[in-house]
Amino acid sequence: MSSTLLEVTRSAHEEVERLERLIVKELQTDPSSNKDRLFQSHRVHHMIDTITVTTEKLVDIYEDKDNARKDEIAALGGQTATGTNVFSAFYDRLKEIREYHRRHPAARVVDPNEDFEALLKEEPLIEFSGEEAFGRYLDLHELYNQYINSKFGDHIDYSTYLNVFSQPHKIPRKLKLTRQYKEYIENLLEYLTYFFQRTEPLQDLDRIFSKLITEFEEQWENGLIEGWEGEGQGNGLVPDWHAVIDLDYYNSVEELMVVGPEKLKEALAALGLKSGGTVQQRAERLFLTKDTPLEKLDKKHFAKGSRGQEQNGVSAVNSFKEIALMEAKINKLCELLEETVDRTKDNIVKKQALTYEEIEAEREEEDTQADTESDDDDQQIYNPLKLPMGWDGKPIPYWLYKLHGLGQEFKCEICGNYSYWGRRAFERHFKEWRHQHGMRCLGIPNTKNFNEITSIEEAKELWKRIQERQGVNKWRPDLEEEYEDKEGNIYNKKTYTDLQRQGLI
């Protein structure tokens, strides 16, 4: 192998330069769709990985720990142990190179002018589930089922879960100290990491997490981690039970027994210790932790299945910290995937308002748009259903068109037979300037009484009836003005006047 070491070095340098040129050429192309962008990113990522591996091999060659490179260079000058001359060394070397290329035909000399367009058109195999729609949406159904079937989760629907899965710090701390929660957090972090690596292959997630861990360590020491406030202060840990019982105030088991059985049980359970027995036994077990670290306690003091038993007495500090760090990573990934999370929420809400046939039609439409999507402004927009145009200059989705009833026309005679499309636009127009202007021209006030009235004749007829009703309700003194006689009898003005004339009162 040493006889062809320089040829391997030359070939490796050539491979690195060739891949660098391909990356530059690849990134000069602006992808026309999300699918093309993903393919481009994965091709570049694969080439970068190849460059990294090749460079590591070159570093090993140049370090020359076994002096193989040094010996081969010396052999080129005829400086061999056998004392052969320069010409013999040259022909021997030429023979070795020819033999090497005969055995390794792939290691041929590459023409720098050769075209590698085929490599830039390869479509990498990227695994996405049907629900993920090639990286457009998250597929959290499995994690959702794990959440709602756990003690720490609530019985909520999937759309609500999408609003809370990114906030694990809001789950009560006492519910997190279980193996079930740890498994859930591990699975959630694993999925989000894998999804991010598939959709953003050029992002350096290791560097992002490295910076996150540095910030986390500082916040943990100061007890500032959200949902874990107080943890990590002092010598590693201020346990949850410390807020209930501060052992510094107790000098004996007898003094600690005054706290009561329930609080002792709470404190022991928080540490993963056995919480049964009499008050004295509980106090004795808890008092052991005053001067003895948890990792040095006998395993018999830990409850079966608790974190203390599982970790064979290892300090609970590491367990708390590990869970808190995973939560911090999940929060960071949710920030990086914020647009995808929002898109997933909108997609679920949309699906809940659609029939199966409409969902299939929408999926076909998305596939068609994905295949024909282009940034060319002059490209003719395909709109056979004549859907209204959205804010992005493209037809709005068919499900939105159906949801708002935009295929239904409403005409208003008061507005000059102007057409309004969709019930929402029709209801809104009664407060708009065009309708108000028409009502003023008719001499009719634009009140709530005239909502849904679009005919001029109907509006005039209703206004006439309102005026008549208002006329009946006008103040009529002869009938409604009250008078009282000496005996306290009440009469209206007309009756009182008639009785007075007759001398009856």
Task: Write the DSSP assignment of 395-409 as a string of letters.
Answer: BPPHHHHHHTTTT-E
Q: Classify residue 6 by its DSSP letter.
A: H
CA separation for the pair 135, 35 (Å, rounded): 9
Take residue 478 and report the two structure tokens written for it: 């002869």
Distance, C-alpha 208 to centroid of its chain = 17
CB 444 within 8 A of CB 435: no
- The residue with tokens 């002869």 is 478
Contact 367, 412 (CB under 8 A): no
Q: How many CB atoms lie within 10 A of CB 95?
A: 11
Q: Which helix (H) or strand (E) holds 212?
A: helix 205-221
Eight-class DSSP state of 29: S
pLDDT at 320: 76
List of residues 6+ apart from 434 with CB closer than 8 A: 415, 416, 418
CA dihedral 374, 377, 378, 384 (to 10 degrees): 70
Identify the burial level of 501 via C-beta atoms within 10 angstroms of its C-beta, where 0-12 means exposed, 13-18 middle and 19 or more buried. exposed
pLDDT, residue 33, reads 78
Alpha carbons 395 and 402: distance in angstroms, whole number: 13
Distance CA 254, CA 327 (A): 40
Amino acid at 408: Q
Q: Which residues neighbour 162 within 8 Å (Cβ) at sequence distance 6 or greater?
A: 138, 140, 341, 344, 345, 348
Question: How does strand 409-412 pair with strand 482-484?
Answer: unpaired
- pLDDT for the residue 308: 46
Give the H/E segment covering residue 183: helix 179-199
CB 480 within 8 A of CB 487: no
Partners of 302 in the β-ladder:
273
Q: Can you give the pLDDT at residue 190?
A: 92
Task: Show the CA angle centred on residue 268, arms to residues 264 and 273, nearest 5°.
Answer: 145
Helix (H) or strand (E) holding 420: strand 418-421
Cα 51 from chain centroid (whole Å): 32
Residue-level pLDDT at 248 = 65
Burial class (CB in 10 A: 0-12, 13-18, 19+), 344: buried
- The rounded distance, in Å, linking the Cα atoms of 72 and 307 is 59
The string of pLDDT tens digits covering residues 351-398 is: 777 777 776 776 676 666 555 544 444 456 777 767 777 766 778 787
Spans of the chain, pLDDT less than 70 = 1-3, 75-87, 89, 104-121, 174, 227, 229-246, 248-249, 293-296, 304-318, 359, 362-363, 365-380, 385, 391-392, 471-480
Q: Which residues pair with 389 in a beta bridge?
A: 395
- Going by C-alpha positions, the residue among 94, 105, 187 that lies closest to residue 143 is 187
As to burial, measured by CB atoms within 10 angstroms (0-12 exposed, 13-18 middle, 19+ buried), residue 273 is: buried
Q: Give the single-character DSSP code of 168.
A: G
Q: What is the pLDDT of residue 412?
A: 92
Q: Which residue has the tokens 């929420």?
A: 345
On whether the CB atoms of residues 436 and 446 are closer than 8 A, the answer is yes
pLDDT tens-place string over residues 199-245: 888 888 888 888 988 888 888 777 777 767 655 544 444 444 344 46
d(Cα 164, Cα 170) in Å, to the nearest integer? 9
Q: Which residues pair with 273 in a beta bridge?
A: 302
